[in-house]
Amino acid sequence: MKWIFRLLRNLSILAAVALLAGCAAMGVGDSVRVRMSGAEEIPPVKSHASGSGTIRVEDDGSVSGSFKTQGVSVLAAHVHEGAADQNGPVVIPLQKTGDNEWAVPPGAKLTASQLMRYREGRLYVNFHSAQYKGGEIRAQIRASTGGRKSDNGNGGSGY
């Protein structure tokens, strides 16, 4: 009879460990902090404008995030597809949420191809102004690993 209780206890422990491991993998996603500048634009622009923000990409491609800009009157803001040395098409238009504040709209989701580009570091966020219609400040979005917060590689602290 003791062996049955030991077996049940061991199975319960095994089930709990499996459940915890499954929960840990769910919705981990990837949160990346970015800093935007004119130096990141293609071609680079001389601007005193700057910005920062966080973008989160879940394993299913769901995207959320928010950004703040300084020293620029933004006409439009987007997440684009493109390598650090390229300009590319808009993937997600950002919504203005306040003075100098922008956010990924609710329900935004990357396609499988865009998610792959994100993991390759081939997405960027771009803020357009009247003076620089092609973009005044930009930051490459570089995926981190394991859902840890990351910096975009522009000399930040890694948060």
Say whether pLDDT at 23 is over 50. Answer: no
Mean pLDDT of 73-100: 97
Q: What is the identity of the amino acid at 23?
A: C
Q: Which of 151, 149, 125, 129 is nearest to 139 (CA)?
A: 125
Average pLDDT over residues 107-130: 97
Q: What is the mean pLDDT of the chain?
A: 83
Quote the pTM value.
0.75
What is the predicted pLDDT for the residue at 86? Answer: 96
Nearest to 153 by CA among 40, 62, 56: 40
pLDDT of 131 above 70: yes
pLDDT at position 110, please? 97
Asked if 159 and 151 touch (Cβ cutoff 8 Å), the reply is yes
Query: Which amino acid is located at 134 in the chain?
Result: G
Residue pLDDT, tens place only, 55-82: 999 999 999 999 999 999 999 999 999 9
Question: Which domains are seen in the chain, by residue range?
Answer: 28-151 (2.60.40.200)
Q: Which residues of 87-98 are buried (b: 16+ CB within 10 A; e: fewer)?
A: beeebbebeeee
Q: Which pLDDT score is estimated for 157?
A: 32
| pLDDT at position 1 over 70 | no
